[in-house]
Amino acid sequence: ILGESLRYDHMSLYGYKKETTPYLTSLLNDKNFLYKKAISSSVFTYVSISSLINCIDRPNGLPIVIQKKTCLISLAKKREYATSFISSQSRDGMSNIRNSLCQDSLDLYKDSYSKNNDNYLNEKDIYLFNELKKINLDKKSFIILHQIASHLTYKGTYPREFAKFKENNIINEYDNSIVYSDYIYRQIIKYL
């Protein structure tokens, strides 16, 4: 699961004073739950996703992306995994990213505009969970779920019922987007 703009210093899992990740925090004593602090390689989605998917460990990694030798999706495909990339980002938001996804190795690609735009506006990141449930998990699968998550504008990334922090300010809106992401993680983890 790739979350947009999610900062660990706003997750109660890592000691943030507000309870933003109650589900993830509840997994702390589970021996199968591994979590680490991580920092993205860029503030731009295109660069950070391309770097992660293609295992780029240094700046100016475009030649690595073009070669596709270290692309996680193509490596999974070579090992006979069914490969899927599902994003709640818009088609426009995904336009630059798609080129770095080794699309020739993807069995399934969907973004939020793969369906009726009006429906997506009401679904938010739950779209990912709904699409995940359509995948046949009886075969080996490599699935990437790419959230809109805590992307600007924060208030527009979560349904109203997830507005846990009521005072109207940008920090609370951001924290509420994390509360909603925690809910999405719970749905996905429990389903899997």
| pLDDT tens-digit series, residues 26-85 | 999 999 999 999 888 888 888 888 888 888 877 777 777 777 788 999 999 999 999 999
pLDDT at 114: 61
Q: Do 61 and 54 meet the contact criterion of CB atoms below 8 Å apart? A: yes
pLDDT at 118: 46
Specify which residues 146 forms β-bridges with: 2, 87
pLDDT at 113: 66
Q: Which pLDDT band, with edges at 50, 70 and 90, does 142 fall under?
A: very high
Q: Do 142 and 76 meet the contact criterion of CB atoms below 8 Å apart? A: yes
Q: Which residue has the higher pLDDT, 27 or 123?
A: 27
Q: Which pLDDT band, with edges at 50, 70 and 90, does 124 fall under?
A: confident
H/E element, 145: strand 141-146
* Chain-centre distance for alpha carbon 106: 17
**153 cis-preceded (ω within 30 degrees of 0):** yes
pTM: 0.89
Position 172 pLDDT exceeds 90:
yes
pLDDT at 100: 82
Q: Rounded to the nearest 5 degrees, what angle is found at the Cα of 51, between the Cα atoms of 49 and 55? A: 120
Instruction: Report the pLDDT averaged over residues 14-34.
Output: 97
Helix (H/G/I), strand (E/B), else coil: 171: helix
Q: Which residue has the higher pLDDT, 29 or 123?
A: 29
Cα separation, 54 vs 36, whole angstroms: 20
**Beta-strand relationship, 108-110 and 82-87:** parallel
Instruction: Report the pLDDT averaged over residues 142-166.
Output: 92
Provide the mean pLDDT of the chain. Answer: 88
**Beta-strand relationship, 141-146 and 108-110:** unpaired
Backbone φ and ψ for 187, nearest 5 degrees, come out as -60, -45
End-to-end CA distance of the chain: 13
pLDDT at 123: 65
Residue with tokens 């979560």: 158
Measure Cα distances from 180 to 19, 55, 108, 191 in Å.
12, 29, 26, 17
pLDDT at 39: 84
Residues 6+ apart with CB under 8 A from 141: 81, 82, 83, 84, 135
Percent of the chain with pLDDT over 90: 59
Backbone φ and ψ for 87, nearest 5 degrees, come out as -125, 140
Instruction: Report the pLDDT averaged over residues 90-115.
Output: 82
